[in-house]
Amino acid sequence: MVRLGERICGRESFTAKALGLLPAYNVYRKTYALLRESQRWNREELAAHQAQALARLLDHAYENVPYYRRVFQERGLVPEDIRGPDDLVLLPFLTREDLQANLSDLKARNYPESAFEYVTTGGSTGIPVGFYYEKGVSRAREWAFMKTQWDRVGYRFADRCVVLRGYIVGSAKDGVFWKKTLFGRWLLMSSHHMTEETLPAYIDRIKRFKPRFIQGYPSTAVILARYMREHGIEPFPTVKAVLCGSENLYPWQRDLLEEVFGCRVFSWYGNSEQTVLAGECEESTHYHIFPEYGIVELIGRDGRPVKGPGAMGEVVATNLTNFVCPLIRYRTMDLATAAGGSCSCGRSYPMLERVEGRLQDFIVTGKGELLSGIAMNIDTDAFDNVKQFQFYQEKVGEVILNIVRKPTFSKQDAEYLYREVSRSCGDDVLITIRYVDNIPLTARGKYRYFVQDLPIHFSEREGGIVEHVSPDLLA
């Protein structure tokens, strides 16, 4: 997912990054101006722009990137053979394993070494991935896209924003777990110190800061929201929207956040590799894909494109802007469902109905079907006396539900919770409840509701463990 914000305790601060963008300000300004104009283009104009951008990328990759020169030659192709996005099927997928094994050959030879910024993902799918941004330029361009996206809910650079992401700020010694950044406009709050004891101080500080927006991981914002609901705390009167990204936003999370904060919840989808970016608009909760950013394909288990409203597939994406390290037909290991029709907002962007999540966020049933967390009913009072929970799977058809109990948790709660979760998972999943003292955050400060320890593959060609697949996945 897109990572915007400050990194504290030995990591580069957000303010430092923002200042570092100044030399690339012209890139930001040019990109932002294009997006302000192109969001009004019709489908034909967007398609023409995308085709031209793809042609430039392929010509560049063929001439300057050894990995792609080799791919073209092995397949007997030249860039002119790919006349548009539909012809990308002539090229192979780029997997995370391919990226790591060929990283040096994916660097464009016509850029100086000083232009490369090495970046890694968090490894939430089990495979940490390294790749390159164009130093300064990639982040400046990303800002332009994010600003365009947040414009839809009225965000301005001058607005005050509380940031609840994976940061470690302050310490228990002084009891201050936040820090202002971006010239005092953003209040970064530590996600690692949010407890029953400290949350009253968080809430008091947010009230005094008077933010117009809250930006955060959904799971981090939910910690605050659950506390506020349980203690009858009124919404923050100045907050106009909650901006959620970098994690899947589950329906029960959206409902909770909208109820507690009394405002619109706006979600976007992207990744650190910067191959895909999509976000909701002011009119709907469908994810509008930026065609200026990249080309998105949905691929079925047979490796072929799936199309049409309601079709689910793996997101395969081609970035159109990163020339220092092109990623063409990159397998994201994310599943999404296509949306049909047009949006009343007037933009002619292709849309996703929803993002189902990473493969590692699915449960494998006894029949080998993939059960999405989106389909599970977690928004139930069976979790009222549960402080934290996490689904963990290491055997097909069997799931361990780790829970941290509240002091009020009883035997009756355990029985009720077991019934509700079993009903949600279906007859082909055996549930075991396990009591734990705490559920740790990931290294990037994320809270994972699903931890999958099975070698799941979506493609039949990878010899995945899923022998029987539900009709939804074959659509």
How far from 225 is each of 201, 247, 262, 321, CA to CA, in Å? 14, 17, 11, 37
Written as one string, the DSSP assignment of 115-150 is: GEEEEE---TTS---EEEEETTHHHHHHHHHHHHHH
* Distance from C-alpha of 300 to C-alpha of 304, rounded to nearest angstrom: 6
In 10 A of CB 59, how many CB atoms? 13
> Which residue do the tokens 């037909």 mark?
329
Contact (Cβ atoms closer than 8 angstroms) between residue 394 and residue 451: no
**Predicted pLDDT at 124:** 52
**Predicted pLDDT at 377:** 65
Written as one string, the DSSP assignment of 427-443 is: TT-EEEEEE-S-----T
How confident is the model over 216-274, as pLDDT tens digits? 999 899 999 999 999 999 999 999 999 998 888 888 899 999 999 999 999 999 999 99
* Distance from C-alpha of 361 to C-alpha of 358, rounded to nearest angstrom: 5
Q: In this structure, are strands 370-372 and 312-319 parallel, antiparallel, or unpaired?
A: unpaired
How confident is the model over 128-145, as pLDDT tens digits? 789 999 998 999 999 999
How confident is the model over 84-133, as pLDDT tens digits? 999 999 999 999 999 999 999 999 999 999 999 999 886 555 567 899 99
Q: Burial level of 119, CB count in 10 A (0-12/13-18/19+)?
A: middle
> Which residue do the tokens 């029960």 mark?
252
Residue 462 has pLDDT above 60, yes or no: no
**Predicted pLDDT at 379:** 66
**Predicted pLDDT at 21:** 55
Q: Between 24 and 288, name the one with better pLDDT.
A: 288
Helix ranges (H only) for 152-281 are 199-209, 218-230, 251-261
In this structure, what token pair is assigned to residue 376?
């599970």
Number of H helices and E strands in the chain, helices first, is 10, 20
Whether the model clears a pTM of 0.75, i.e. scores above it, the answer is: yes
- Amino acid identity of 22? L
Section 159-188 average pLDDT: 85
* Distance from C-alpha of 349 to C-alpha of 42, rounded to nearest angstrom: 9
* Distance from C-alpha of 233 to C-alpha of 439, rounded to nearest angstrom: 25
**Predicted pLDDT at 20:** 55
**Predicted pLDDT at 326:** 98
**Residues with Cβ within 8 Å of residue 277, at least 6 apart in sequence:** 2, 145, 149, 268, 269, 270, 289, 290, 293, 294
Contact (Cβ atoms closer than 8 angstroms) between residue 94 and residue 326: no
Helix (H, G, I), strand (E, B) or coil at 190: coil
In this structure, what token pair is assigned to residue 436?
């734990």
How confident is the model over 430-447, as pLDDT tens digits? 999 999 999 888 777 778
* Distance from C-alpha of 396 to C-alpha of 454, rounded to nearest angstrom: 8
Q: Burial level of 183, CB count in 10 A (0-12/13-18/19+)?
A: exposed
How far from 16 is each of 20, 284, 388, 436, CA to CA, in Å? 6, 35, 35, 39
Q: 34-55 in b/e burial notation, b at 16+ Cβ within 10 A?
A: ebeebbebeeeebeebbeebbe
Residues of the chain above pLDDT 90, percent: 62
* Distance from C-alpha of 217 to C-alpha of 78, rounded to nearest angstrom: 43
Residue 317 forms beta bridges with which residues?
A: 296, 330
